Amino acid sequence: MDVFVARQPIFNKKKEIFAYELLFRSGMSNAFPDIDGSKATTSLLSSSFFTSGIERISGKKRSFINFNEQLLLNGYPLMFPQGSIVVEILETVLPTEDVVRAVAELKEAGYTIALDDFIYEKQFDCLIELADIIKIDFLMQDREKVRGMASELKKFRCRLLAEKIETYEDFALASAMGFDYFQGYFFAKPEVLKNKEITANSMALFKLLDEVNRDNPDTKKIEGLLQQDVSTSFKLLSYLNSAHFYRLQPVSSIRQAMAFLGARGLQKFVSLVVIGQISSEKPGELIRTSILRARFLEQIGALAKTNSGELFILGLFSLLDAMLDREMTDLLSIIPLSDKVIAALGYGRGEYFPYLEIARFYEAGDWKQFETSLETLHISSEVVVDAYLDAIVWAESF
How high is the pLDDT of residue 219? 86
How high is the pLDDT of residue 58? 83
200-396 shares the fold of 3-188: no
How high is the pLDDT of residue 42? 58
- pLDDT of residue 50 exceeding 70: no
Cβ count within 10 A of residue 14: 7
Assign residue 318 a region (left: φ > 0; alpha: ψ between -120 and 50; beta: otherwise): alpha
Domain coordinates in residue numbering, the chain: 3-188, 200-396
How would residue 27 be classed by pLDDT, with cut points 50, 70 and 90? very low
- pLDDT of residue 3 exceeding 80: no
Which of 43-47, 244-248, 327-331 bottoms out in mean pLDDT, i.e. has the lowest? 43-47
Burial pattern 248-259, b for ≥16 Cβ within 10 A else e, equals eeebeebeebbe
- pLDDT of residue 197 exceeding 70: no
Burial pattern 64-103, b for ≥16 Cβ within 10 A else e, equals bbbbbbebbeeebbeebeeebbbbbbbeebebeeebeebb
How would residue 28 be classed by pLDDT, with cut points 50, 70 and 90? very low
Which of 26-40, 157-171, 266-280, 294-308 bottoms out in mean pLDDT, i.e. has the lowest? 26-40
How would residue 247 be classed by pLDDT, with cut points 50, 70 and 90? low
Instruction: Please spell the DSSP secondary structure of 311-352, one letter per residue.
Output: HHHHHHTTTHHHHHTS-HHHHHTTS---HHHHHHHHHS-STT
> What φ, ψ does residue 170 adopt, rounded to 5°?
-60, -45
Q: What's domain 3-188's architecture? A: Alpha-Beta Barrel (3.20)
How high is the pLDDT of residue 163? 95
How high is the pLDDT of residue 288? 92
How high is the pLDDT of residue 33? 38
Fold exhibited by the domain 200-396: Hypothetical protein af1432 (1.10.3210)
pLDDT tens profile 103-162: 999 999 999 999 999 888 888 999 999 999 999 999 887 889 899 999 989 889 899 999
Q: If you average pLDDT over every residue of the chain, what do you get?
A: 85
Cα separation, 218 vs 220, whole angstroms? 6
Q: What is the number of alpha carbons within 13 Å of residue 178 lying toward its C-beta?
A: 17
